Amino acid sequence: MTTWIALLRGVNVGGKTLRMETLRETLAALGMEAVKTYIQSGNAVFRCSESDGNALRKHLEQGITENLEVVVSLLLRSPAELEALLSASSFELADVSSLYYTFLEKSPETGLTETLPSPQAGFDEFRIIGREIHLHCPGGYGRTVYSNQYFERKLKQIATTRNRNTVLKLLEMCR
């Protein structure tokens, strides 16, 4: 059995409402085991026999759409990937409460990353490492220009962001 973390994009914001109890029930009906959710923003941890993340992602997106009549995008990560994300700390900060991680479906194309402006030190900053963007937002994520929509537009793929505490909690839920 493989443990997966599902990060749903845009759930319970902008009018797309999905109760976590309903998400747990739906994931279980789609064959996922030991399903747990965390807060209302579309985070789930589960186990299943599928080890191909791309196939599983398509299965879950289609199943959620068919069962709940709500179109969602989701990204999957393994516990090892979250551990690697946290250990690749790209900012030296005394206060980590301003750290966020934007998850992408794939590593961005080099040509697209070259179009991104270089962030200025002391303001919101980001660093792309593989399929994640490490964000430092001293004023809070709600005020940054580096939103999901910004990176989706620039990198031409879906993105979803979680704060450091959520990533830590999801990893803890995998144990």
Predicted local distance difference test score (pLDDT) of residue 119? 61
HSE-CB at 20 with a 13 A cutoff on CA atoms is: 13
> What mean pLDDT is predicted for residues 17-32?
94
pLDDT digits (tens, 9 = 90+) for 114-167: 767 766 656 888 889 999 999 999 888 988 989 999 999 999 999 999 999 999
pLDDT digits (tens, 9 = 90+) for 28-86: 999 999 999 999 889 999 999 999 999 999 999 999 999 988 888 999 999 999 999 99
Complete DSSP assignment for 50-92? ---HHHHHHHHHHHHHHHHS---EEEEE-HHHHHHHHHT--S-
Are the CB atoms for 4 and 76 separated by under 8 Å? yes
Q: Domain 2-77 is of which CATH architecture? A: 2-Layer Sandwich (3.30)
Nearest to 73 by CA among 65, 61, 62: 61
What are the domain boundaries of the chain? 2-77, 80-174
Are the CB atoms for 100 and 161 separated by under 8 Å? yes
